[in-house]
Amino acid sequence: MHIVVCVKHVVDSTEIHVDKKTNELVLRGLSTKINDYDKNAVEEAVKLKKELGATVSLISIGPRDAVKTLKEAVAMGADQAYLLQVSPRQQLDTAQVSLILSKMVEKLEPVDLILCGEVSEDGYNSQTGARLAARLGLPEVSYVTSLTAAEGSFEAVSTLEDTAETVKGATPALLTVSSAINVPRLPTAIQIMKVRSDRIKQWKLKDLGLEDSALETPSVTMLGYEIPEQERKNIMIEGTPAEAAKTLVKYLEEEKVMN
């Protein structure tokens, strides 16, 4: 069995802020990492590798320092990784990303399972997995919280809010996994350092049969960002501790925070 995992190199979302003068995201100088949701996809692939003797390949699109991200993901237990290098200033929408990823998958065929995180923490579009499945003509299951697989088939539990659905299907297929599916392992610094550079292969667009135009003119352009204003009521509660507690509970019930 050959499992391909889509991995995204992102900036640490906890450090992102908006320039109030330009309404643009300030991304320069921020630390980068593997997308947290993709860690769950890598972890699940590695678990299947141990159970089934599968081969796990990682694919990614990103700048040169995405190699660092892929080394961490390989150190989690993947076999090899492939990177399509783009400029750090390159903005790609989900249509472009899914096109490039589809060509990467086709270059690695035969592929039995493709795993993606359910969302990327920088864009939160939840579109790439579905678009990639559509381009490859594969069945897709989203929000997977449990997965078992065998040669030629899989069984997944898809959970959305309070509804869980069990899906059985044949491979090849694409699944987007929820962060509830597992707890990703954390490779040590030594394990990451031991990952040889030759386990991460870098491709160019021409290696995938694509022209430079694949990176041009996204169909979706971000016009700007702004921080929503939040007004606080600043209610001061007076009285004894017992009286203040009763008043606080009353306010919380009125705001439907508790009942």
The string of pLDDT tens digits covering residues 93-106 is 899 999 999 999 99
Residue 224: predicted pLDDT: 66
41-55, 114-128, 134-148: which range is least confident on average? 114-128
Q: Is 144's pLDDT higher than 80?
A: yes
Rg (CA), the chain: 22
CATH number at residue 62: 3.40.50.620
What 3-state class would DSSP assign to 98? helix
Cβ atoms < 10 Å from Cβ of 71? 21
Residue 126: predicted pLDDT: 84
The most confident of the ranges 13-17, 25-29, 251-255 is: 251-255
Positive or negative: CA dihedral 45, 94, 104, 113:
positive
The token pair that represents 11 in the structure block: 């900036």
Cβ atoms < 10 Å from Cβ of 152? 10
Residue 165: predicted pLDDT: 95
Residue 252 pLDDT class (50, 70, 90 cuts): confident
Is the residue at 257 inside a domain?
no
Is the residue at 224 inside a domain?
no
Mean pLDDT, the chain, integer: 88
Q: Is 50's pLDDT higher than 70?
A: yes
Is the residue at 42 inside a domain?
yes
The string of pLDDT tens digits covering residues 71-95 is 999 999 999 999 999 887 778 889 9
Q: How far apart are CA 245 and CA 110, in angstroms?
A: 64
Measured in residues, the chain has a length of 259
When divided into structural domains, the chain yields a total of 1
Q: What is the mean pLDDT of residues 196-208?
A: 93
Q: Which of 58, 72, 70, 154 is nearest to 108 (CA)?
A: 58
Q: How far apart are CA 87 and CA 85, in angstroms?
A: 7
- 8 A C-beta contact, residue 140 and residue 133: yes
Is the residue at 235 inside a domain?
no
The string of pLDDT tens digits covering residues 226-239 is 666 777 777 888 88
5-19, 127-141, 154-168, 184-198: which range is least confident on average? 5-19
Q: What is the mean pLDDT of residues 53-71?
A: 93
Residue 44 pLDDT class (50, 70, 90 cuts): very high
Is the residue at 72 inside a domain?
yes
Q: Is 30's pLDDT higher than 70?
A: no
Residue tagged 């660092």 (tokens): 68
Residue 213: predicted pLDDT: 85
> Which structural domain, as residue segments, surrounds residue 59?
2-215
Is the residue at 247 inside a domain?
no
The token pair that represents 134 in the structure block: 């559509």
Is the residue at 102 inside a domain?
yes
Residue 192 pLDDT class (50, 70, 90 cuts): very high
Is the residue at 259 inside a domain?
no
Residue tagged 């509804």 (tokens): 163
